[in-house]
Amino acid sequence: MGEPNDQTSLRTSVGDVPLEEYHVRLAGREWTILHTGAVLSDDDEQRLLTDTSPRLPYGVSLWPASLALAHDLVARGDGLRGLDILELGAGTGLPGIIAASLGARVVQTDRHDLPMSVCRRNAAHNGVATIEHRLADWTLWDDPTRYDLIIGADVMYAERMHTHLRRIFESNLRPGGRILLADPFRPVSLALLQAIETDGWTIGLTTWRVGEHTAPRQVGNFELTPR
């Protein structure tokens, strides 16, 4: 699915942030993503979540849901061309960068400056100049635009944000549009999806195995279609 490579850094207001490269090769193409560390296994995640040292925003790590969503988007190929796509919680930006590379018009959003800086750098690093980047807080969301596709990788983990996510889904999806969310089957995420399905949405599922061959992580790509 990809491999780590060289290191670089990003200068920020709090000093240099070291970044690693991860090369993603799909369908005969390659994208290079800068990140602060790959969180591809359960053990990786537990180490990150229990680290007591000052931590960076989670979005600057490379998460398995981002890789699974990237696979799904590449599989859609020319079907993305000309679509208006909103990416929520863009983090390092891999899914939106791939969508833009395949001809979509993409708006990438994140609430933190650092992930947005990494996201912009990754877009430039991959020769993608057509993405619009916005700092955005879901609790203060005011984007009136409607999109053909709303995407997000591991964005349902905080139950307190579910109301805000649902409001965005309902107000920003164009008639006939779809929502595509990748998630490693977190119970809190499944609860949100169940509530959405109970309200009449159709939810399709494809499953990907991401990470080390000895301990791959199962990730679901959930496609939501409103009634």
Q: What is the pLDDT of residues 144-197, one digit of tens each?
A: 999 999 999 999 999 999 999 999 999 999 999 999 999 999 999 999 999 999
Let me know the angle formed at the C-alpha of 211 by 41 and 149, rounded to the nearest 5 degrees.
100
Find the CATH number of the domain harbouring 167. 3.40.50.150
Structural domain including 98 reads: 41-225
User: Residue 152: inside a domain, yes or no?
Assistant: yes
138 DSSP 8-state letter: G
Domain count, the chain: 1
User: Residue 25: inside a domain, yes or no?
Assistant: no
Mark out the alpha helices in the chain (DSSP H runs): 42-50, 64-76, 94-101, 113-125, 162-172, 187-198
User: Residue 3: inside a domain, yes or no?
Assistant: no
196 Cα distance to chain centroid:
20
User: Residue 36: inside a domain, yes or no?
Assistant: no
Distance CA 200, CA 138 (A): 23
User: Residue 5: inside a domain, yes or no?
Assistant: no
Handedness of CA 154, 155, 159, 162 (dihedral sign): negative
Q: What is the amino acid identity at position 5?
A: N
Write b or e for each residue in 33-58: b if 16 or more Cβ atoms lie within 10 A of its Cβ, otherwise e: bbbbbbbbbeebbeebeeeeeeebbb
The pTM for the full model equals 0.92
Distance CA 8, CA 145 (A): 36
Closest CA to 181 of 151, 217, 225: 151
At 142, the pLDDT band (50, 70, 90 cuts) reads very high
Q: What is the pLDDT of residues 13-64, one digit of tens each?
A: 445 788 999 999 999 999 999 999 999 888 889 998 888 777 788 999 999 9
User: Residue 199: inside a domain, yes or no?
Assistant: yes
User: Residue 87: inside a domain, yes or no?
Assistant: yes
User: Residue 151: inside a domain, yes or no?
Assistant: yes
